[in-house]
Amino acid sequence: MSIIDELLLRFSAITLPEMDRVTLLNRVDTKFIFRVGKLPAILKKLPEVYRALEIEGNRQTHYETLYFDTPDYRMYLDHHNKKLNRFKVRSRKYVESNQCFFEVKFKNNRGRTIKKRVNDTTLNDIINDNPGELLSELTPYRPEMLVPSLRVFFSRITLVNKSLTERITLDTGLSFQKGDETASYPGVVIAELKQDRSQRSRFRTALREEHVVQSSMSKYCLGIISLNQHIKKNNFKSKMLNINKLNHDID
């Protein structure tokens, strides 16, 4: 058993049905990126305030995500160019529960993230049926306009505060695939604090105590940059330098 698994046993468990009460599909997201060596010290500070999601006896769960974009990466470029009112489109598989969802995420001009999703049977390279209807209803895109652009694999720890107003995801073991090309970031944690509104958080305090500052880089953008040498990335250069440094730091 790893030290992370041992630390997660200090948390009381929360089940998926219980967590449905704190899905936060309309929320404020705050991201942090830090080296994986800091994770044990951060987790030690949190069991009194948070519960850990447990699925089939596992508190680190595995995800596989298939993102869609236009052939010229319009959604990625909207993010790179800091365009407001932008979209992400993906299918996601929760490996332990074998559930799949097709999801549309919308970041509005007030900084809120709104996510809507429908059940899907599997990760499918073609958007059709209910996913196609959701895409057409919520976005300016149509299924025939989008192609698979990136596969992302990672492990996730999900924490929920005991008052059910806040959710934290801690993603590790990140790897990306596009065709035969792959990239991985085993030394990096991408954390996200999800709240219905910006408010005080024990998690945010724990990060500050470990000298972790807010830093935003989506897994989608990280993967696209890592596997597309010639794509526009000027606005992400400083963040990529930091991420590459974190990935190679040794405690």
pTM: 0.92
> What CATH number is given for 3-248 in this structure?
2.40.320.10
Q: What is the pLDDT of residues 125-146, one digit of tens each?
A: 999 999 999 999 999 999 999 9
| Count of Cβ atoms closer than 10 Å to residue 225 Cβ | 22
| C-beta separation of 60 from 156 below 8 A | yes
Nearest CA to 7 out of 184, 142, 182, 206 is that of 206
Q: What is the pLDDT of residues 32-81, one digit of tens each?
A: 999 999 999 999 999 999 999 998 899 999 999 999 999 999 999 999 99
Q: What is the pLDDT of residues 210-243, one digit of tens each?
A: 999 998 889 999 999 999 989 999 999 999 999 9
Q: What average pLDDT does this structure show over 160-173?
A: 91
